[in-house]
A and B are shown apart, each in its own frame.
Chain A
Amino acid sequence: MFTRLAARLTAMSVAGFARALTGVLPNWRGCLPEAKQRVYFANHTSHGDFVLIWTVLPHSLRQHTRPVAALDYWGGAGIRGFIGREVFNAVLVDRRAGSTGQDPVSVVVNALTEGASLIFFPEGTRNTTGEELLPFKSGLYRLAQARPEVEFVPVWIDNISRVMPKGEFFPVPLLCSVTFGAPVGNRDGEDKTAFLERARSALLALKPAEQDR
């Protein structure tokens, strides 16, 4: 009871803080915020990424949308574990799998089977290289194979890496945006490489036009 209340309050303050800092607004470019089961797959440059997506979702969708997060970072004891488990109800996957036995993708598929929508980072890790987008791991393809009826929506998160660059403790206020594209449908007979390439281009296409950087 107390934990639930604390989790609700924390969720509201995290979203409020994210708004105050980044003024984040959604662009629903390729789809609308509807109560459909979806996998929102996004670029990943910061620990704040899933918070931003979660913040711009309508309240009714937030409850059913769970981020897929690393067990070793968000699953421990203490504040990160509280935020990961209780506040965002994250689907925690063990990236060091193999040894422990359970296949990380099957954990995620189970969450889809239970009816949740997911926030998923197909690069598999935070991108701190300065490249715009890393190659996708096979996880997204395997999810699409296992649950073809779910909508796979590309989501580009812009500018958050400047708000809090790698290695900094304190964020600075800069505007961020979250752009939702059209769902990437399944195509019959498409192999893994082709699907991942198509999903990756759909995500990259949402990136705001680059100026003379």
Chain B
Amino acid sequence: MSMPREAIPLFLGLGAVLVVATLIGQILKWRSGAQVNPVVENLNERVFAWWVMVVLIGVAFLFGKAGVVLLFAFASFAALREFLTLTHTRRGDHWALMVAFFIGIPVQYYLVWIEWYGLYSIFIPVYGFLMLPIVSVIRGDTTRFLERIAFVQWGLMISVFCVSHIPALLTLDIPGFEGKKLLLVAFLVIVVQGSDVLQYVFGKLAGRHKVAPSLSPSKTWEGLVGGVASATALGAGLWWITPFSPLQAAAMALVTCLMGFLGGLVFSAIKRDRGVKDWGRMIEGHGGMLDRLDSVIFAAPVFFHLTRFWFVP
């Protein structure tokens, strides 16, 4: 799977957006002078992290399917590690954790790699779901058993199963779209992450009314409507890298943005419950891997199945 022609203008465009963002960030920093403005600092850290992430995805694209599968396997590893760190597993779960990390991740991504849809779509929801409690029950520790098992099952579903649906887009055989499947990955990631960024921008510039004050102080109606509307327009404008018509691309973008937003809310609730602000400190300015991936995690499986249902014969 070589790099499709459309990838070049796409990455040039991303580079241009990042150059503009970097310039804006540096001008704001210069204008705030000697005193350090935390919002501007954070903005610049975020922009820098975006450079790193875009370069990583670009390198993964150069290696085609292998690169993309490996990249998201590592993302799953980091995400699962963050997720399970915040849970209260006990000594009796040690084997279950080992199964999740050392069998769950490699097998799921191997199945995606060999494009075995029939198994990778049920491996974790069926076999993982049943095997994890079996592995834990052998150890005989019944304290908060259901809760502990549910934590590990959730971790695998969220961090591995859902994330693996991003590289799984490469396994879809869409007529007339041969050799361009990498672009579907790019479309999903750009639209969902673009929606996050645009919600942040609209929220910072015009945010007044909080959407869910009990969940997240930073999510506002202005940010939500402005971000989702502009990201939907962005998705429509990217129809030329997809098998969709402009209208279909807009509809797909709208659904994935809404799923992404709702996913962000769910993750805010989990973080509130666990008493933390961020999942980790892996990505400067953003927090952990899960802080960056939360919206994509909820959007990816839905985008995958909608595409598969309507565009794969």
| B280 at interface by CB-CB < 8 Å | yes
| A23 at interface by CB-CB < 8 Å | yes
Q: How many residues belonging to A are interface residues under a CB distance threshold of 8 Å?
A: 16
Contact of B82 among A162, A166, A172, A175 (CB under 8 A): A175
| B281 at interface by CB-CB < 8 Å | yes
Contact B275 A23 (CB under 8 A): no
Point out the residues of chain B lying under 8 angstroms from A25, CB to CB. Answer: 281
Point out the residues of chain A lying under 8 angstroms from B248, CB to CB. Answer: none
| B91 at interface by CB-CB < 8 Å | yes
Which residue of A has the minimal Cβ distance to B80? A173
Contact B81 A175 (CB under 8 A): yes
- For residue B145, give the distance in angstroms from its CB to the closest CB of chain A: 16
Interface hits, B147-181 → A, CB 8 Å: none
Q: List the one stretch of B3-11, B94-102, B112-120, B194-202 in contact with chain A.
A: B94-102
| B282 at interface by CB-CB < 8 Å | yes
Point out the residues of chain A lying under 8 angstroms from B82, CB to CB. Answer: 175
Contact B101 A23 (CB under 8 A): no
Interface hits, A131-173 → B, CB 8 Å: 159, 162, 165-166, 168, 170, 172-173
**Proximity string of chain A (97-119) to chain B, C-beta cutoff 8 Å, 1 when within and 0 when not:** 00000000000000000000000
Contact B281 A173 (CB under 8 A): no
| A51 at interface by CB-CB < 8 Å | no
Contact A209 B77 (CB under 8 A): no
Contact A170 B98 (CB under 8 A): yes
- For residue A55, give the distance in angstroms from its CB to the closest CB of chain B: 15
Contact B94 A173 (CB under 8 A): no
| A211 at interface by CB-CB < 8 Å | yes
Point out the residues of chain A lying under 8 angstroms from B80, CB to CB. Answer: 173
Contact B94 A23 (CB under 8 A): no
Contact of B88 among A173, A209, A211 (CB under 8 A): A211
Point out the residues of chain B lying under 8 angstroms from A211, CB to CB. Answer: 88, 274-275
- For residue A204, give the distance in angstroms from its CB to the closest CB of chain B: 18
Which residue of B has the minimal Cβ distance to A25? B281
Chain B interface size, as a band, is: 10 to 19
- For residue B269, give the distance in angstroms from its CB to the closest CB of chain A: 15
| A172 and B98 in contact, given A165-B91, A209-B275, A211-B274 (Cβ under 8 angstroms) | yes
**Proximity string of chain B (276-290) to chain A, C-beta cutoff 8 Å, 1 when within and 0 when not:** 000011100000000
Point out the residues of chain B lying under 8 angstroms from A168, CB to CB. Answer: 91, 94
| A213 at interface by CB-CB < 8 Å | yes
| A175 and B280 in contact, given A209-B275, A213-B88 (Cβ under 8 angstroms) | yes
Which of A25, A166, A174, A212 has the most chain B CB atoms inside 10 A of its CB? A174
Point out the residues of chain B lying under 8 angstroms from A175, CB to CB. Answer: 81-82, 85, 280
**Proximity string of chain A (199-213) to chain B, C-beta cutoff 8 Å, 1 when within and 0 when not:** 000000000010111
Point out the residues of chain B lying under 8 angstroms from A170, CB to CB. Answer: 98
**Proximity string of chain B (289-301) to chain A, C-beta cutoff 8 Å, 1 when within and 0 when not:** 0000000000000
Point out the residues of chain A lying under 8 angstroms from B89, CB to CB. Answer: 162
Interface hits, B54-73 → A, CB 8 Å: none
Point out the residues of chain B lying under 8 angstroms from A172, CB to CB. Answer: 84, 94, 97-98, 101
Cα(A137)–Cα(B85), bound, Å: 31
Interface hits, A2-42 → B, CB 8 Å: 23, 25
| A165 and B94 in contact, given A23-B280, A211-B275 (Cβ under 8 angstroms) | yes
Which residue of A has the minimal Cβ distance to B92? A165
Contact B81 A174 (CB under 8 A): yes
Cα(A213)–Cα(B86), bound, Å: 11
Cα(A162)–Cα(B87), bound, Å: 11
| A173 and B77 in contact, given A159-B85, A168-B94 (Cβ under 8 angstroms) | yes
| A174 and B91 in contact, given A25-B281, A211-B274 (Cβ under 8 angstroms) | no
Chain B contacts to A: CB under 8 angstroms: 77-78, 80-82, 84-85, 88-89, 91, 94, 97-98, 101, 274-275, 280-282
The 10 lowest CB-CB distance pairs between A and B, nearest first, are A175-B85, A172-B97, A165-B91, A173-B81, A174-B85, A211-B275, A168-B94, A213-B88, A172-B98, A25-B281
9 A-B pairs in the complex with CB atoms less than 8 angstroms apart:
A23-B81, A23-B282, A25-B281, A166-B91, A170-B98, A173-B101, A174-B84, A174-B97, A175-B280
Chain A contacts to B: CB under 8 angstroms: 23, 25, 159, 162, 165-166, 168, 170, 172-175, 209, 211-213
8 new A-B contacts at CB < 8 Å, known A23-B78, A174-B97:
A23-B280, A25-B281, A172-B98, A172-B101, A173-B80, A175-B82, A175-B280, A209-B275
